[in-house]
Amino acid sequence: MIDQTTLREQPDAVREALENRGADIDLDDLLETDERWRELKARGDELRHERNEITDRIGELVAEGKDEEREEAIAESKELKAEIEDVETEAADLRDELDERLLEIPQLPDESVPVGEDEDDNVEDRRWGFDDRRDLPDEVVPHYDLGEDLDIIDEARGAKTTGSGFYFLKGDGARLEHALIQFMLDVHREQDYVDLFPPVPVTSESMRGTGQLPKFADDAYRLGGSNEEDYEDEDLWLCPTAEVPVTNMYADDILLKDDLPLKHQAYTPNFRREAGEHGTETRGIVRVHQFNKVELVNFVEPENSYDRLEGLLSEAEEVLQQLGLPYRILELCTGDLTFASAKTYDIEIWAPADDMDDGPEEGGRWLEVSSASNFEDFQARRAGLRYRPERHESADYLHTLNASGLALPRVMVAVLEYYQNEDGTVTVPEALRPYMGGQEVIEGHEKVGESALGSGERE
């Protein structure tokens, strides 16, 4: 959450920042509520001081034997006690209201973020890999058709066992996914990341700490209850991203300056109720409800967080560069930032099969595979993430950053389409061959079952 002192002392700057984000927040009403809470808190402190003075005087009156004055003082003390309870009850209710409303205020964009309304106003920073791209077939087959032809992606059976948006990877498709995971983990391990294998279920409190709740409850998979029902702090949700458990593992801890920067990587399956229009844009495994991802999470000192953001971006890019997959970097505008982010770079990989209006001039489309974000102290305030600059100094909030390193399904899409050959096979990128037992080409599998007879695959 944002710093409440900033809200009080710089309301015009906060208002402008929220307008740039397109956030509809009644800041004036929030500030009035905050002012009323502070008045009540001050009044409560004042009444307690008065009652303490009367309590001291009652003791003196008892010692002096002044019974009548003592009874009057006791009556006055009772009246003050009742007034204190009323004031503190109202103040506590307002504090709860303020805390809930503060949780709904998004992060304020960094001043370097370009102002814009939506993704159309994002700024392209650079491209990589287009100058020496490989020769492609005259007509690149989309991954969803190629995956079916090679029998390495089975959406129909995934829908049968679980529902729309779930799929099976089979044979070389599964091997390719496992290879990508291990390859990414190895790349980031060389970048000094410490591996974690976190729990998959996460609590409501953890989801709130990183900003997924309350705003994005409808996009998450809740365990043991409907998303529409009220939830408690200890209720469980399927992990939407490893950012949630990894960031919250240090909740309410105090790290030391010598611990920072702290860099963790974690592979997890992730679960999201992805919404979107049907058709080419979402066909196949581009937008699904379960997907694998290697997540990079950084904990740093505030003064180093923007330098670390640039380093984090480079660390995520390294995966695509070693795979030889063309991509571009976008700087997100204020209107396209995620709820908790102060600044974000998107890495969009090139998938050459499906031509989109907003795709590159070479054809195909862009697929986001990572968002490298600096959350500053936004998540730290929500989750209680602090560090001690020096052992004798007070603890302060640290800064958190994360990036996907990378999201697997869309990398898989790019590999199948970019490394596709004229004969319908797929060349395995050199960087992945050691993870696939030296295999150089994916040639596909013979389909099974009576459905294969009808398709002419088997006689």
Active site residues: 272, 287, 368, 371, 410
Nearest to 348 by CA among 318, 320, 388: 320
Task: Give the up-direction half-sphere exposure of residue 1: CA atoms within 13 A in the CB hemisphere.
Answer: 21
Query: Do the Cβ atoms of 143 and 352 come closer than 8 Å?
Result: no
Query: Do the Cβ atoms of 271 and 289 come closer than 8 Å?
Result: yes
Burial of 445 (0-12, 13-18, 19+ CB in 10 A): middle
Neighbours of 54 (CB within 10 A): 21
Query: Do the Cβ atoms of 280 and 329 come closer than 8 Å?
Result: no
